[in-house]
Amino acid sequence: MSNKACLKISELAGGTASQKSFSCKIIGVGTQALVITDAGGNSLYANNLTIPLTKQPQVSMTTSLGTVVIELNPAAAPITVDNFLNYTESGFYVNKIFHRVISNFVIQGGGFTADLNQATTQAPIKLEANNGLSNLRGSIAMARTAAADSATSQFFINVVDNLTLDTNAGGYAVFGKVVSGLDVVDKIKAVPTSTRGGLTDVPNTAVVINSMIQTQ
């Protein structure tokens, strides 16, 4: 089965010889060609699949200061969105904190626990900067080291327009935006911070991610 609007297509259990069900992560919208082939590459079924523009995936992130809803853009950043959703689905982000808060720059989290232990992550992903999305206020992007293809679980939300991040050091990959709860983002950016555990700009009172759930 192939379709350029889907990533990681998998067959669901419970199918019969005449009826099969599949699932995938959406990486495109609009009308797309759908083709199902057998093991020998022979076409078994071909049709068009329509994915509405209104059905971009969304994730609800509940923090100790409120809930933020993030709309993802898999068409622009398929690898990054798939990576973020994998961490979301596995429950990785639960009880992680925003460990770096800079009131005129970003709030960054998704990698440390409240005691500042860094969690073990999946393999790093390919950088998807310069994808047509910009580091504007309310956008979410992947944090990384100086190496381009080094992002794992950590993400940041821009609290101001940070257009220099689009190109600085190869750019930082934006993969979605806040569609609800920007006021919560502003609460987080305003918390007092200090240097602790060798990290700068750490909130004095931990801002904890209580849950991260895909809701659409």
Contact 180, 69 (CB under 8 A): yes
- Report how many domains make up the chain: 2
H-helix segments, 8-146: 78-90
Strand ranges in 52-197 using DSSP code E only, listed in sequence order:
58-63, 66-72, 96-101, 106-113, 139-142, 155-158, 174-180, 193-196
Cα 4 from Cα 31, distance rounded (Å): 10
Render pLDDT for 111-170 as a digit per residue (tens, 0 to 9).
Answer: 999 999 999 999 999 999 999 999 999 999 999 999 999 999 999 999 999 999 999 989
Whether 1 is covered by a domain: the verdict is no
Whether 28 is covered by a domain: the verdict is yes
Range of the domain at 95: 58-214
Cα 64 from Cα 203, distance rounded (Å): 12
Examine the domain organization and report whether 123 and 209 are in the same domain.
yes
pLDDT band at 2 (very low <50, low <70, confident <90, very high): very low
Render pLDDT for 35-90 as a digit per residue (tens, 0 to 9).
Answer: 777 788 888 778 877 766 557 899 999 999 999 999 999 889 999 999 999 999 99
Region 20-33: what's the mean pLDDT? Answer: 68
**Mean of pLDDT over the chain:** 90
Examine the domain organization and report whether 62 and 113 are in the same domain.
yes
